[in-house]
Amino acid sequence: MIEIRRHHAAFCTEHFLAMFRTQVEKAIRRFQMMEPDDRVMIAVSGGKDSLALWDVLLGLGYDVTGLYLGLGIGVYSDRSHDVAQAFADARGARLRTVDLERDHGYDIPTAGRRGSRSTCAVCGLSKRYVFNRAALEGGFDVVATGHNLDDEAATLLGNTLRWQTEAIARQSPALPARDGMVKKVKPLHRLSELETAAYAFLRGIEYVVEECPLVAGNTQLRYKEAINAIEHTSPGTKSQFFLGYLERGMPLFSAEDRAELHACEACGQPTTGRFCAFCRARAQVLGERLGGGAETPDRQVAEELADEVLPVEIYDRAGR
């Protein structure tokens, strides 16, 4: 049995799994996330959310390929890749792997030490860049990620606390393709973290329970704790906050979505500046120069990265 307090209901396994799939189908239909013949790339971390989503999408008959990004976080990354590969092998599904160190010259622990951004921020930036580029180069129609209701509510809270109106305008669970950016969708946005964990457990999915060793104390976690404290005494607040935003809040911010994009001079991926945030962060970590100009001081890069609206950040400024 699993109890979902916001629904005032307890479910047996069979009905819980049916409810879970129905919520995913509802999200896909409501936001026209994908068509039956679309080639879907799913960003896979080895955690409960991405593997639960992969399982549901395969069950619904979609053509889904996994993409795992090796972050170079020691045994945590090794185990995450093994778990993702085992999931794919058991279902005859395809899994592609990009490795940050092998393919881009740095790993996340190094970037966290050398760069001017937090470890989680540069990790999120790297993921969004790699997934977009890999999907475009692989001819995929859409990238699906395992962001759940808790993730989205926490991001919305962070964006609202800072009144980041452009980010608020773009927090739709389905962002259409534009200017070198592949379509991005979040089919789990109606389901809480408790529900995705329960689904993975009840489906017998082995996932990485351990938390990333670098994540302790990050901003997203603090926002989740704050929302969960309210949810504990007022079940349903979390879904009212985010799903209410989608129905009534998001349209009010649409005028704020105004970033114009063009190709990064280094890699060709879309950016609002001369070089994209990924290339600038990577150059900073590796001590390289971009475009043959004078090396930009760390402090200046940090300030620019913080201020500029950058495509790899457009989807989720709170960083994931």
Nearest to 154 by CA among 241, 232, 235, 216: 241
Question: Which helix (H) or strand (E) is 152 found in, with range?
Answer: helix 149-161
Q: Within 219-258, which residues bind other proteins (CB under 8 A)?
A: 220-221, 224-225, 228-229, 231-232, 235
What is the pairing mode between strands 2-4 and 9-11? antiparallel
**Quick one: DSSP state of residue 309?**
-
The C-alpha angle with vertex 263 and arms to 271 and 50, in degrees rounded to 5, equals 55
Q: Which is nearer to other proteins, 46 or 173 (CB)?
A: 46
Q: Which of these segments, 30-38, 58-66, 205-213, 240-248, binds other proteins (CB under 8 A)?
A: 205-213
Residue 230: Cβ within 10 Å count:
12
User: Judged by CB under 8 A, which of 2, 122, 181, 290 binds other proteins?
Assistant: 2
Q: Is 26 in the site for other proteins (CB under 8 A)?
A: no
CB of 257 to other proteins, least distance (A): 24
Q: Is 294 in the site for other proteins (CB under 8 A)?
A: no
User: Judged by CB under 8 A, which of 107, 151, 152, 313 binds other proteins?
Assistant: 151
Binding mask 48-87 for other proteins (x = CB under 8 A): xxx-----------------------------x-------
Q: Is 175 in the site for other proteins (CB under 8 A)?
A: no
Q: Which of these segments, 143-151, 251-259, 279-287, 305-313, binds other proteins (CB under 8 A)?
A: 143-151
Residue 161: Cβ within 10 Å count:
11
Return d(Cα 61, Cα 28) in angstroms, integer: 13
Q: Which is nearer to other proteins, 82 or 211 (CB)?
A: 211
Tokens of 58: 């395969």
CB of 46 to other proteins, least distance (A): 7
Residue 240: Cβ within 10 Å count:
12
Q: Characterize 121-137 residue by residue with b for buried, 16 or more Cβ atoms within 10 angstroms of its Cβ, and e for exposed.
A: bbbbbbbbbbbbbbbbe
Binding mask 90-129 for other proteins (x = CB under 8 A): ------------------------------x--xx-----
Q: Which of these segments, 56-64, 88-96, 158-166, 215-223, binds other proteins (CB under 8 A)?
A: 215-223
Q: End-to-end CA distance of the chain, in Å?
A: 31
CB of 10 to other proteins, least distance (A): 6
Return d(Cα 10, Cα 316) in angstroms, integer: 33
CB of 210 to other proteins, least distance (A): 6
User: Judged by CB under 8 A, which of 211, 295, 298, 303 binds other proteins?
Assistant: 211
- The pairs formed by 44-47 with CB atoms below 8 angstroms and a separation of 24 or more are 44/68, 44/84, 44/87, 44/95, 45/69, 45/80, 45/84, 45/146, 45/208, 46/79, 46/80, 46/81, 46/82, 46/83, 46/84, 46/87, 46/207, 46/208, 47/80, 47/146, 47/207, 47/208
User: Judged by CB under 8 A, which of 66, 270, 273, 319 binds other proteins?
Assistant: 319
Q: Is 17 in the site for other proteins (CB under 8 A)?
A: no
Taken in order 306, 311, 315, 319, the sign of the CA dihedral is negative
Return d(Cα 239, Cα 245) in angstroms, integer: 9
- What 3-state DSSP class applies to 277? helix
Q: Which is nearer to other proteins, 152 or 264 (CB)?
A: 152
Q: Which of these segments, 22-30, 60-68, 187-195, 274-282, binds other proteins (CB under 8 A)?
A: 187-195
Q: Is 135 in the site for other proteins (CB under 8 A)?
A: no
Residues at the site binding other proteins, with contacts judged by CB under 8 A? 1-3, 5, 10, 43, 45-50, 80, 120, 123-124, 145-147, 150-151, 192-194, 196-198, 201-202, 208-212, 215-216, 218, 220-221, 224-225, 228-229, 231-232, 235, 319-320
